């Protein structure tokens, strides 16, 4: 299986970077190939300047991202939740990389050809807010599960959540326990 890990946190020393390391090192590389995209290290324009009415100039990072999306059988999205949303960097990357006629194609008013059908995904999110509050806030996984996955045909496998980031309950032992859980999920592929 080809696995693409997308780290949507812009800071390369964040806990999300540790999560990426835990996930990718737990994968059995005898059975799977793994590639990573660290969005904070790329230099693409995350603004979809013309919507989808015009194509933007070709961007090497977006082109490479699209090639990796097509290559992957399984895509991991990892990101922090800020203000109830994914970072704008990840949102902009999704808008630029998952484009019509490559990821999906409307064939009628309410019908869509899901061009990434057969691919699966894990979602790993970190947040300061406690999980118990998430139903009252914007659930930051919905843009992936209800929108992107619905249109493209990607099937959700697991969602892992780590809350209370940087607050008193967020101890080193708790983080290590979460990293071990991440590793178990990756090893189960």
- The ranges assigned to domains in the chain are 2-187
> Looking at residue 134, what is its pLDDT?
76
Helix axes 60-71, 88-97, angle to 10 degrees: 70
> Looking at residue 132, what is its pLDDT?
83
Model's pTM, two decimal places?
A: 0.95
> Looking at residue 138, what is its pLDDT?
67
Homologous superfamily (CATH) of 2-187 is: Flavodoxin domain (3.40.50.360)
- Cα angle at 79 between 77 and 85, to 5 degrees? 110
DSSP code at position 53 = S
> Looking at residue 140, what is its pLDDT?
83
Alpha-carbon span 79 to 88, nearest angstrom: 11
Question: Are 184 and 27 in contact, with CB atoms under 8 Å apart?
Answer: no
Which stretches within 47-165 are classed as H helix?
60-71, 88-97, 142, 149-152
> Looking at residue 137, what is its pLDDT?
67
Determine which helix (DSSP H) or strand (DSSP E) holds 18, and give its type and residue range. helix 15-26
Question: Are 5 and 23 in contact, with CB atoms under 8 Å apart?
Answer: yes
Q: Mind listing the pLDDT tens digit of every residue in the chain (189 residues)?
A: 999 999 999 999 999 999 999 999 999 999 999 999 999 999 999 999 998 888 889 899 999 999 999 999 999 999 999 988 999 999 999 999 999 999 999 999 989 999 999 999 999 999 998 888 877 766 788 899 999 999 999 999 999 999 988 888 899 999 999 999 999 999 999
> Looking at residue 153, what is its pLDDT?
98
Which stretches within the chain are classed as H helix?
15-26, 60-71, 88-97, 142, 149-152, 172-187
> Looking at residue 16, what is its pLDDT?
97
Over its C-alpha atoms, the chain yields an Rg (Å, rounded) of: 17
* Residue where the block lists tokens 């922090």: 80
> Looking at residue 55, what is its pLDDT?
84
- Cα angle at 1 between 87 and 40, to 5 degrees? 20
> Looking at residue 76, what is its pLDDT?
98
- Cα angle at 152 between 125 and 4, to 5 degrees? 50
Alpha-carbon span 81 to 90, nearest angstrom: 11
Say how many C-beta atoms besides its own lie within 10 A of residue 67's C-beta. Answer: 11
């Amino acid at each position: 299986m080809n696995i693409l890990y997308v780290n949507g946190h812009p800071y390369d020393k964040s806990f999300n970077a540790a999560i990426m390391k835990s996930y990718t090192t737990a994968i059995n590389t005898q059975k799977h190939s793994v590639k990573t995209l660290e969005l904070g290290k790329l230099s693409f324009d995350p603004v979809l300047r013309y919507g989808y009415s015009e194509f933007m100039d070709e961007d090497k990072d977006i082109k490479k991202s699209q090639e990796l999306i097509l290559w992957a059988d399984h895509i991991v999205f990892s990101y922090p939740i800020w203000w109830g949303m994914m970072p704008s960097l990840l949102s902009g990357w999704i808008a630029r990389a998952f484009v019509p006629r490559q990821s999906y194609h409307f064939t009628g008013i309410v019908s869509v050809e899901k061009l990434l059908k057969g691919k699966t995904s894990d979602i790993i999110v970190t947040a300061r807010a406690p999980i118990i509050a998430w139903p009252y806030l914007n659930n930051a996984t919905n843009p992936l599960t209800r929108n992107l996955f619905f249109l493209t045909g990607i099937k959700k496998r697991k969602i892992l959540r780590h809350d209370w980031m940087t607050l008193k309950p967020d101890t080193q032992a708790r983080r290590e326990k979460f990293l071990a859980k991440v590793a178990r999920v990756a090893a189960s592929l």
